[in-house]
Amino acid sequence: MPFDRFKTADGRTVDALLGPEMRSTGEVMGIDTAFGPAFAKSQTASYGSLPTKGTVFVSVANADKRSMVFPVKRLADLGFRIVATEGTAEMLQRNGMDVEVVSKYFEGEGTGEGTVVELIRAGQIDLVINTPYGQSGPRVDGYEIRTAAVSADIPCITTVAGAAAAIQGIEALTRSDVGVAPLQVLHARLRVSRDREAG
């Protein structure tokens, strides 16, 4: 979704967190013979390409922390620098990852200490993974993080499934598996693949 085009009455951009009514709408799609390249194409059409290097910011709800270990480990293995909020960083460090801690927006606002929102605005973050917390303070923090990512045209992932999909897309880009082909060629490749599976 082109979230940077949507504004509230007072001119602020809207939250990039999709509600149930928004998940069934979209403006882009990617087509390929495998999921990773297709997802990478869809992201290129909506944000710009997924990054293949750089810094990933991670801050996830407690319910998502265990599920996020493998995806973040895979990003680290691909050479990404990982920065995270304190709670998420602790969990990732317990699982053997090298993670730098960065302050949440509401923790560092006005203190002069660099916050994740300031890092995003300064162009120091290349991918944001931020799952929603609920109705408490971190929800406001998440809104600020996601809004900053949208404003900076940085891919912002808000679900564990989205993180897994993004990693498949990043891997495809890293392997240079993403290309362009006429629909007829893609259709023929898919037909051959289905015939092999059936055969």
Q: How does pLDDT run across 124-143, given as a tens digit for each residue?
A: 999 999 988 755 444 567 88
Does residue 115 come out as left (phi exceeding 0), alpha (psi in the -120 to 50 range) or beta? beta
Q: Tell me, what's the pLDDT at 137?
A: 45
Q: Tell me, what's the pLDDT at 183?
A: 81
Q: Name the β-bridge partners of 197.
A: none
Three-class SS of residue 130? strand
Q: What is the dihedral of CA 40, 31, 175, 84, to 10 degrees?
A: 20
Taking the whole predicted model, whether its pTM rises above 0.85 is answered as no
The number of beta carbons lying within 10 Å of the beta carbon of residue 173 is 20
Identity of the residue numbered 185: V
Name the band, by pLDDT with cuts 50, 70 and 90, for residue 59. Answer: very high
180 in Cβ contact with 45 (< 8 Å): no
Instruction: Provide the token pair at 104.
Output: 């949440």
Q: Which of these, 33, 7, 16, 13, lies nearest to 180 by C-alpha position?
A: 33
| % residues pLDDT > 70 (the chain) | 78
Sheet strands (E) in 28-186: 55-59, 81-84, 99-101, 127-130, 156-157
Instruction: Provide the token pair at 148.
Output: 């900053």
Name the band, by pLDDT with cuts 50, 70 and 90, for residue 148. Answer: confident
| 149, pLDDT greater than 80 | yes
CA angle 109, 102, 11 (to 5 degrees): 45
Mean pLDDT in residue range 152-180: 91
Higher pLDDT, 96 or 20: 96
Mean pLDDT in residue range 100-123: 79
Sketch out the chain's domains with CATH numbers: 3-22+51-169 (3.40.50.1380)
Three-class SS of residue 79? coil
The number of beta carbons lying within 10 Å of the beta carbon of residue 194 is 10
The number of beta carbons lying within 10 Å of the beta carbon of residue 76 is 17
Identity of the residue numbered 28: V
